[in-house]
Amino acid sequence: MSTATSPVPERGAQRPSSRSARSGSDEGRPARRSLDELRALAERGAAELRSGSADEASPAEVVAWVAANVSPRLAAVACSMADAALPHLVAEALPGVDVLFLDTGYHFLETTFTRDEVARTLDVRIVDVKPAQTVREQDAEFGKDLFSRDPALCCEMRKVAPLHQALGGYEVWFTGVRREEAPTRANTPLITFDERNGLIKVNPVAAWSFDDLIAYATAHDVVVNPLVANGYPSIGCAPCTKPVAAGEDPRSGRWAGLAKTECGLHV
Ligand code: SF4
Compute and round to an integer the Cα radius of gyration of the chain: 18
User: What's at 256, amino acid-wise?
Assistant: A
Confidence of residue 22 (pLDDT cuts 50, 70, 90): very low
Confidence of residue 267 (pLDDT cuts 50, 70, 90): low
C-alpha 54 to ligand 1 mean position (Å): 36
**Residue 245 pLDDT > 90:** no
Averaged pLDDT for residues 113-135: 97
Q: Please report whether residue 237 resides in a domain.
A: no
User: Which of 80, 81, 101, 106 has the most ligand 1 atoms within 8 A of CB, as the residue to mutate?
Assistant: 106
Confidence of residue 20 (pLDDT cuts 50, 70, 90): very low
The CATH number that applies at residue 81 is 3.40.50.620
Residues 197 and 155: their CA atoms lie apart, in Å, by: 16
Q: Please report whether residue 252 resides in a domain.
A: no
Q: Please report whether residue 242 resides in a domain.
A: no
Q: Please report whether residue 241 resides in a domain.
A: no
DSSP string, 174-233: E----GGG-GGGTT--SEEEETTTTEEEE-TTTT--HHHHHHHHHHTT--B-GGGGGT-S
Q: Is 216 helix (H, G, I), strand (E, B) or coil?
A: helix
Residue 118 · residue 127 · CB < 8 Å: no
**Residue 15 pLDDT > 60:** no
The number of domains in the chain is 1
Residue 81 · residue 8 · CB < 8 Å: no
Residue 108 · residue 238 · CB < 8 Å: yes
43 alpha carbon, distance to own chain's centre: 22
**Residue 21 pLDDT > 60:** no
Query: Which structural domain range is residue 79 located in?
Result: 2-229
Atom of ligand 1 nearest to the CA of 151: 7
**What DSSP character marks residue 56?**
P
Of 199-203, 214-218, 221-225, 258-262, the least confident: 258-262
Instruction: Reply yes or no on whether 79 is catalytic.
Output: no
pLDDT in tens, 63-110: 999 999 999 999 999 999 999 999 999 999 999 999 999 999 999 999
Residue 249 · residue 255 · CB < 8 Å: no
Ligand 1 neighbours (beta carbon < 6 A):
104, 106, 147, 151, 154-155, 158-159, 236-237, 239-240, 263
Averaged pLDDT for residues 210-226: 94
11 vs 125: which has the higher pLDDT: 125
Q: Please report whether residue 255 resides in a domain.
A: no
Q: Please report whether residue 154 resides in a domain.
A: yes
User: What's at 262, amino acid-wise?
Assistant: E
Q: Please report whether residue 258 resides in a domain.
A: no
Q: What is the pLDDT of residue 46?
A: 97
C-alpha 238 to ligand 1 mean position (Å): 8
Q: Please report whether residue 245 resides in a domain.
A: no
Atom of ligand 1 nearest to the CA of 158: 5
C-alpha 38 to ligand 1 mean position (Å): 31
Atom of ligand 1 nearest to the CA of 254: 1
Q: Describe the crossing of helices 59-69 and 35-48 by its angle, rounded to 10 degrees.
A: 140
Residues 74 and 180: their CA atoms lie apart, in Å, by: 29
HSE-CB of 125 using CA atoms within 13 angstroms: 21
Confidence of residue 263 (pLDDT cuts 50, 70, 90): low
Averaged pLDDT for residues 17-37: 65
Name 233's bridge partners: none
C-alpha 147 to ligand 1 mean position (Å): 5
